[in-house]
DNA sequence: GATAGTGACATACGTGGCGTATGTCAATTA
DNA sequence: TAATTGACATACGCCACGTATGTCACTATC
């Protein structure tokens, strides 16, 4: 029986490592995840990890990049599936909050990621989610739908508001009620960006 | 020569530990701070630390509480020193951003704190800063200055936006320019909360 | 005011996790 | 087929944490 080409084996190894690490980081957290444990779970040892990713931090970067790419993709799909640009934008923002309710995203992207890798805006992929928000804002601005502002700056503010809202909701006693309050306030905040005369659209 | 009473010695010990830990956490970060090192710097050993704070996490909690109390106090002073409630509120929010530019606050309160202790809204002191923002919003709402919204929810959104903005500014290539962009967008966002007919006040 | 008791610390020890240095074996290349 | 590369495993040392234990001063009670 013919073996797979080497490059394929390598990609498989890397994928297995990322998958195992993602599972571990997403559940027990970065600090508590033992490299010996989750590499063994992938049928490998720490040797492979150091060879491919240079260390624990390198693996976290890879996991972050993977999750971030998935988030971007999901967000793009959501904003594209709405009729008006403004509705698409609002939907995307709300989806952003909802995604951050997922434990894995919360643990890896909101808590451990920034603590270990530093400010998200310095991450290599430039946080695709921010990019997505930014381009959306640019279009809304060009169309005169929202007030004049720096798109990237506004995207970051919105992103920050969303993420903290998610943390709040996820840890609240009554997530349902809290979610309603947060999303309500959030929509109001976005509404304030509409150019004069367009409110409550 | 008469010795100090015991309770005073204890308070002193605790204060020394908190101060040393605050220095270490604020500079090298929580994970990289060696308990042996910074307890020694305080003229003590890990024994004292475990006795008073139960462990490394306990000390971080104490440090967080101390910094949070200081931040609250500073914010209260700022919002009180402005004529109109709205101006005071805006000034407090901007100050919130500026405070988060300080490396110690950033490292401890924004990065390590959430990663180690979990969501800030679950912290015992309930994050005095959020409380401060919330009460301010309540007053503005009662006076009819801003649109109808849940004060706490809005306070958390604003807080999140501020904190991420700070991370962005602090890590930007050109902090000056970035700060202008961020604060500009931020004021615009707050402006959207004003009740109809009150804009650009 | 002697004695038992409590509590604030220091010391000693074991364990686990990380990083590095080294080894091995298969796959490519000539 | 011989040489080389590189993917991965193994082995070692170190550092840091948590716990268990010890000591000594202070306090309280009679």
The model's confidence at residue B1, banded by pLDDT at 50, 70 and 90, is: very low
Chain B, window 134-193: residues with a beta carbon less than 8 angstroms from a chain A beta carbon: 147, 149-150, 152-154, 156-165, 167-168, 170-172, 178, 181-182, 184-186, 188-189, 191-193
Q: Is the pLDDT of residue B200 over 60?
A: no
Judge whether A200 lies within some domain: no
The model's confidence at residue B198, banded by pLDDT at 50, 70 and 90, is: low
- The structural domain count of chain B equals 1
Structure confidence at residue A10 (pLDDT): 83
Phi then psi for residue B55, to 5 deg, are: 155, -175
Tell if A70 CB is < 7 Å from nucleic strand C. no
Nearest to B164 among A159, A170, A178 (CB): A159
Structure confidence at residue B127 (pLDDT): 78
Q: Looking at the DSSP assignment, which residues form a beta bridge with residue A146?
A: A194
Give the model confidence (pLDDT) of A116-125 as tens digits.
999 888 887 7
The mean predicted confidence, pLDDT, of chain B is: 91
CB atoms near residue A72 (< 10 Å): 17
Judge whether B109 lies within some domain: yes
Distance CA A117, CA A113 (A): 6
Q: Which residues of B touch A182 (CB under 8 A)?
A: 153, 156-157
Structure confidence at residue A122 (pLDDT): 83
Judge whether B198 lies within some domain: no
CA distance A36 to chain B (A): 19
Q: Is the pLDDT of residue B28 over 70?
A: yes
Distance measured from the CA of protein residue A78 to the C1' of nucleotide D10, in angstroms: 49
CA distance B19 to chain A (A): 21
Structure confidence at residue A198 (pLDDT): 59
Judge whether A30 lies within some domain: yes
Q: Which residues of B touch A149 (CB under 8 A)?
A: 184-185, 188
| Residues B53/B59, Cβ–Cβ less than 8 Å | yes
Nearest nucleotide by C1' from B42 CA?
Answer: C9
CB-based contact B159 A158, cutoff 8 Å: no
Give the model confidence (pLDDT) of B149-182 as tens digits.
999 999 999 999 999 999 999 999 999 999 999 9
Judge whether A176 lies within some domain: yes
User: What is the CATH number for A89?
Assistant: 1.10.357.10
Distance measured from the CA of protein residue A6 to the C1' of nucleotide D1, in angstroms: 21
Give the model confidence (pLDDT) of B65-111 as tens digits.
999 999 999 999 999 999 999 999 999 999 999 998 999 999 999 99
CB-based contact A164 B157, cutoff 8 Å: yes
Nearest to B160 among A118, A161, A191 (CB): A161
Q: Is the pLDDT of residue A201 over 60?
A: no
Q: What is the mean pLDDT of residues A70-80?
A: 93
The mean predicted confidence, pLDDT, of chain A is: 91
Judge whether A198 lies within some domain: no
Structure confidence at residue A3 (pLDDT): 46
Structure confidence at residue B150 (pLDDT): 97
Distance CA A139, CA B132 (A): 36
Q: Show which positions of strand C are touched by protein (CB under 7 A).
A: 8-12, 16-23, 26-28
Q: What is the mean pLDDT of residues A106-111?
A: 95
CB atoms near residue B184 (< 10 Å): 15
| CB-neighbour burial class of residue A41 (10 A; exposed 0-12, middle 13-18, buried 19+) | middle
Which residues fall within 8 angstroms of residue B176, CB to CB, at 6 or more apart? none
Nearest protein residue, CA measured to C1' of C27:
A6
- Which residues of A in 2-21 have their CB below 7 Å from strand C's atoms? 3, 5-7
Looking up tokens 């951003």 gives B97
Q: Is the pLDDT of residue A13 over 80?
A: yes
Task: Give the residue among B194, B152, B163 at the shortest CA–CA distance from A147.
Answer: B194
**Domain residue limits at A28:** 6-191
Judge whether B86 lies within some domain: yes
Judge whether B197 lies within some domain: no
> Between residues B200 and B198, which one has the greater pLDDT?
B198
B-interface mutation test, from A60, A147, A185, most B Cβ less than 10 A away? A185
Structure confidence at residue A134 (pLDDT): 94
Q: Is the pLDDT of residue B125 over 80?
A: no
Q: What percent of chain B has pLDDT over 90?
A: 83
CB-based contact B186 A157, cutoff 8 Å: yes
């Amino acid at each position: 029986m013919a073996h797979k080409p080497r490059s394929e084996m390598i990609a498989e190894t890397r994928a297995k490592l990322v998958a195992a690490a993602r599972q571990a980081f997403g559940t027990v957290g970065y600090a508590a995840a033992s490299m010996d444990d989750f590499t063994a779970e992938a049928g490998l040892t720490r040797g492979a990890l150091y060879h491919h990713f240079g260390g624990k931090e390198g693996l976290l970067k890879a996991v972050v990049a993977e999750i971030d790419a998935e988030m971007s993709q999901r967000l793009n799909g959501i904003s594209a599936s709405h009729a008006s640009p403004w509705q698409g934008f609002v939907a995307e923002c709300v989806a952003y909050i909802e995604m951050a309710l997922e434990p894995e995203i919360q643990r890896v992207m909101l808590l451990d990621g920034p603590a270990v890798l530093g400010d998200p805006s310095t991450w290599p992929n430039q946080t695709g989610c921010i990019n997505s928000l930014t381009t959306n804002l640019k279009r809304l601005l060009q169309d005169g739908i929202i007030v004049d502002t720096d798109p990237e700056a506004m995207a970051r503010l919105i992103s920050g508001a969303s993420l903290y809202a998610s943390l709040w909701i996820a840890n609240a006693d009554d997530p349902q009620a809290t979610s309603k309050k947060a999303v309500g306030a959030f929509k109001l905040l976005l509404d304030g960006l509409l150019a004069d005369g367009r409110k409550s659209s």
